[in-house]
Structure 1
Amino acid sequence: MKQAQWKFGGIEARFGAGGTQGGQNGGLQGEDATVVTEVSYSDEVVAELIYMIEEEKLAGDVYEAFYDMYGLKIFDNIATSEDRHFDALIAQAETMGIDTDQFVFNEPGVFEDPELQALYDEMIATGALSVTDALEVGAAIETKDMVDIAAAIDEAEGTALADAYANLLAGSANHLQAFEALLA
Structure 2
Amino acid sequence: MKTNNRRAAMVVTVGAIGLTGIAIAAPALADDDTYRPRPASTATANPGGYGMGIGQGMGSGSGFGFGFGFGGGMCGRLPVTAPQGTLTAAQKATLASMAQEEKLAQDLHGNLGARYDAFVFEHIAVAETQHLNAVRAMLQRYRITDPTAGQAPGAFTDSTVQATYDKLLAQGTRSRAAALAVGQQVERDDIAALNAAADGLTAPDVQQLYARLSAGSQRHLAAFTHWADR
Q: Give the AA of the match of 2:156.
A: F
Structure 2: unaligned runs, 5 residues or longer: 1-82
User: Does the 8 A contact of 2:124 with 2:220 survive in 1?
Assistant: yes
* Partner residue, 2:167: 122
CA distance in 2, matches of 1:69, 1:78: 15
DSSP-derived class of the 1:165 partner = helix
CA distance in 2, matches of 1:39, 1:75: 35
Q: Give the AA of the match of 2:108.
A: V
Instruction: Compute the displacement of 1:73 (Å).
Output: 0.7
User: Does the 8 A contact of 2:85 with 2:205 survive in 1?
Assistant: no
Instruction: Compute the displacement of 1:179 (Å).
Output: 0.7
CA distance in 2, matches of 1:40, 1:122: 36
The answer to whether residue 134 in structure 2 is matched with residue 88 in structure 1 is: yes
- TM-score by structure 1 length? 0.76
CA distance in 1, matches of 2:145, 2:203: 23
- TM-score by structure 2 length? 0.62
DSSP-derived class of the 1:40 partner = coil
CA distance in 1, matches of 2:156, 2:116: 24
Q: Give the AA of the match of 1:161.
A: V
The answer to whether residue 163 in structure 2 is matched with residue 110 in structure 1 is: no
CA distance in 2, matches of 1:117, 1:167: 25
* Partner residue, 1:27: none
Structure 1: unaligned runs, 5 residues or longer: 1-36
User: Does the 8 A contact of 1:111 with 1:117 survive in 2?
Assistant: yes
User: Does the 8 A contact of 2:85 with 2:203 survive in 1?
Assistant: no
The answer to whether residue 184 in structure 2 is matched with residue 139 in structure 1 is: yes
The answer to whether residue 197 in structure 2 is matched with residue 152 in structure 1 is: yes
CA distance in 1, matches of 2:153, 2:84: 36
DSSP-derived class of the 2:124 partner = helix
Counterpart selection for 1:64 from 110, 132, 140:
110
* Partner residue, 2:99: 53
CA distance in 1, matches of 2:209, 2:154: 24
The answer to whether residue 123 in structure 2 is matched with residue 77 in structure 1 is: yes
CA distance in 2, matches of 1:79, 1:162: 23
CA distance in 2, matches of 1:71, 1:105: 29
Instruction: Compute the displacement of 1:158 (Å).
Output: 4.6
* Partner residue, 1:170: 215
More helix by share: 1
User: Does the 8 A contact of 1:152 with 1:162 survive in 2?
Assistant: no
User: Does the 8 A contact of 1:149 with 1:169 survive in 2?
Assistant: yes
CA distance in 1, matches of 2:199, 2:132: 20
DSSP-derived class of the 2:199 partner = helix
Instruction: Compute the displacement of 1:53 (Å).
Output: 0.6
More strand by share: 1
Cα deviations across residues 94-119 of structure 1 (Å, max 9, x unaligned)?
A: 0001132x413100000111111000
User: Does the 8 A contact of 1:45 with 1:155 survive in 2?
Assistant: no
CA distance in 1, matches of 2:84, 2:170: 45
User: Does the 8 A contact of 2:104 with 2:165 survive in 1?
Assistant: yes
